[in-house]
Amino acid sequence: MPKKYQNYINGKWVDSSSGELYENRNPADNEDLIGEFPKSTARDVEAAINAAKQAFDSWRLVPAPKRGEILKKVGDILTERKETIAREMTREMGKVLAETRGDVQEGIDTAYYAASEGRRLFGYNAPSELPNKMNLSFRMPVGVAGVITPWNFPMAIPTWKIFPALVCGNTVVFKPATDTPKTATTLVEILIEAGIPEGVINLVHGSGRVVGNAIVSSPDIDLISFTGSTEVGIDISEKASKTLKRVSLELGGKNAVIIMDDANLELALEGVLWGAFGTTGQRCTATSRLILHEKIHDIFVKLLVDKATKLNVGNGLDPTTDMGPCINSAQRDVVDSYVKIGLEEGAKLVCGGEKLTTGRHSKGWFYSPTIFTNVTPEMRIAREEIFGPVLSVIKVKDLDEAIKVQNNTTYGLSSSIYTNNINDAFKAIRDIKAGITYVNGPTIGAEAHMPFGGVKQTGNGHREGGWTVYDFFTEWKTVYIDFSGKLQKAQIDNN
């Protein structure tokens, strides 16, 4: 019998009020049933929110360094169990074991960083304009945080949100993606083991349509942190605005690598392969466009196609595998539909472009690494997020045209340029409209202690990671202390 999992609400593992369950299967082997998870209802969400709201009153009074000590223990447990968690994650969402190890490591790094931030939630003090008066400011927790996360980084992204929320003194209602509920359960189990009090973290499994909407619409949720598609992010923003709750959105991308004619082509080749086909292209920072200087276009495409066709697609637990499956059948169909769109638009398919359905691929949602050339900036495959192993190659004559093509998208998350010309590198850094720019590196590979996020329709101005995320999970309180012994009327007395 498959294992049946539960929600975690107010310090207890409980069934959904609906009594219904859904299956979670290995995308590399659809006969491998990982478990059955709750189809939760709005009633379950309400119970979780009530628990978090009640727990907030005591959790906010725990000193921030003490809250940080719990997250330090979480980091220790993640370190101890890294290999086990990585293997579970590969089985659940498909990416190769080296990548899931990195996913867990990101959680470890975030835990230790958050633990140290418990001692660095600095306020700012400034001199008063009046005598015998002091001006102070403090960071205060906001309240109950609704955390809604995707399936492609089922450990790293939840930790990016939950750990800062907790160390700042907020409580959390956590809705993970329906494709990766097991990893979310593991994370919550570790938080419990590390000593998180009852009600401070609450886990509610289920669909975005039911559970996600209930979280977003609740007047008792004070802030929302969401990672996912731009379309869903816009919907969340609209619904959350009705209760004026704070919202952080990390959304889509259509990231490009620019390769100039003076670049180290061997280095660039490794970066493009990793950026385009790592995680089967299922990253918001994945390299979806390749902008090549005309002088090196033909030779680089030849090198790239030769390498891409040799990538081993298979089960991520196999150490010889280079690229795993798409997350599910529906996502593979989306990828295949965009390949058809590219062909209809007149792009040239030079690699891949097909579902892998026979032999060792017959039980999973595999797709071949795919490359298009003769792509123009206005084609849909050059403008729309595909979220799969599809790379569109665009030829340009110089850096100015490359930057223009790079910016010709509604997104602005990650970007990259390969060049040995320092002037071109700094011009790209200045002129590319993106939240992240790599020089001589791929578009993927963010570090936990640096801000992460984008511009335009990639988000709404907030950042994950680093010190900046703590601004989102706190609000400022300004304090004036007047010890003059008389009424001072600020600007009136200061004329």
Selection from 279, 283, 442, 440 nearest residue 369 by Cα: 279
Q: Is 374 left (phi over 0), alpha (psi -120 to 50) or beta?
A: left
3-class SS shares of the chain: helix, strand, coil, % to 5: 40, 20, 40
Q: What is the DSSP string of 374-413?
A: S--TTSGGGTS---SSEEEEEEESSHHHHHHHHT-SS--S
Looking up tokens 């931030």 gives: 117
- Rounded CA separation 140/146 (Å): 17
Cβ-proximal residues to 367 (8 Å cutoff; 6+ apart), any chain? 280, 313, 325, 326, 332, 335, 336, 352, 354, 355, 356, 388, 389
Selection from 340, 346, 396 nearest residue 370 by Cα: 340
- Rounded CA separation 169/333 (Å): 42
Selection from 160, 218, 167 nearest residue 59 by Cα: 167
Q: Where are the beta strands (DSSP E) in 260-353?
A: 287-293, 348-351
Count of C-beta atoms within a 10 Å radius of residue 328 = 18
Q: Which residues are catalytic?
A: 250, 284
Q: How far separated are the first and last CA of the chain, in Å rounded?
A: 79
- Rounded CA separation 490/258 (Å): 55
Selection from 248, 221, 243, 223 nearest residue 233 by Cα: 248
**What is the side-by-side strand order in the sheet with 348-351?**
348-351, 370-373, 390-396, 287-293, 255-259, 414-418, 436-439
Q: Where are the beta strands (DSSP E) in 277-408?
A: 287-293, 348-351, 355-356, 366-367, 370-373, 390-396
Return the half-sphere exposure (C-beta side, CA atoms, 13 A cut-off) of residue 181.
27
Q: What is the DSSP string of 199-224?
A: TTEEE--S-IIIIIHHHHH-TT--EE
- Look at the chain and count its residues: 495
Looking up tokens 């990101």 gives: 106
